[in-house]
Chains A and B, each alone.
With several copies, the nearest count.
Chain A
Amino acid sequence: MRVAVQSAPFDVGAEVTAFTSGVRGAGAVVSFAGLVRDEGGDLSGMEIEHYPGMTEKAILGIVGQAVDRWSLKDALVIHRHGALKPGEAIMMVATAALHRMDAFAAAEFLMDYLKSRAPFWKREIRAGGDAWVAAKEADEDALKRWE
């Protein structure tokens, strides 16, 4: 189980390979990657602020919950902060379990949590000016399915 909060870019596929080869006895590996969209050239980048100290601790806590709830063999979360360019990976999760349903459910749970409960704030850099991304009600609602 690994959580990394970093400003450096990372390669999603290379992380999936390392994660998969490090897991023993899993039958299912799910990965999710969130990418900076370019929105037809309108979006020139993104700045992500976070709360050092709280961030990794908060994510480790939720990863631990996911590992217990779905009997995961392993789990990985990488989340960037700082300046990002269109097409770059913002973050990823990976989960490994005996069966696919558990690996999928745990990955979706981690994503729903990271969207609304991990202390990150995105700012979009646009031709028309910069703006903080507003939280979506749908993301808050998505968390309710795990209660």
Chain B
Amino acid sequence: MIEVLYFAWVRERIGLPREKLETGATTVADLVDELRAREPRYAAAFADISALKVALDQELSSFDAPLAGVREVAFFPPMTGG
């Protein structure tokens, strides 16, 4: 069981801020493929992952990172703080 969070326009396109998932994905990229296959709103949100960032357990990571042991995955556009 993994918790997946969405922020900013990723959250808007998918239509929810977070969800719990059962997944067999071994990397972030695998998880993205699984999500894309679910529904068009996921496919739309993940159409171009070069426009997205990912954090694993609240640390910035990359799409080829392994998911083993990870409890929280977050997807979001590049940050615009400051």
B14 interface contact, C-beta 8 A: no
Question: Binary interface profile of A, 129-141, with partner B (CB < 8 Å = 1, else 0)?
Answer: 0001111000110
> What are the residues of chain A within 8 A of B9 when measuring CB–CB?
132
Question: Binary interface profile of B, 54-82, with partner A (CB < 8 Å = 1, else 0)?
Answer: 01001110000000000000101111111
Report which of A100, A115, A119 forms a contact with B7, defined as CB distance below 8 A. Answer: A119
A-B contact number at CB 8 A: 72
Q: Which residue of B lies closest to A28 (CB)?
A: B82
Bound-state Cα–Cα, A114 to B81, Å: 6
Could you jot down 26 A-B contacts, CB within 8 Å?
A48-B81, A50-B81, A51-B5, A51-B58, A51-B76, A54-B59, A91-B82, A100-B82, A114-B82, A115-B80, A116-B81, A117-B79, A118-B79, A120-B80, A121-B7, A121-B8, A121-B76, A121-B77, A123-B8, A132-B80, A133-B80, A134-B80, A135-B78, A135-B79, A135-B80, A139-B82
List A residues at the B interface (Cβ < 8 Å). Answer: 34, 48-51, 53-54, 57-58, 79, 90-91, 100, 111, 114-123, 132-135, 139-140
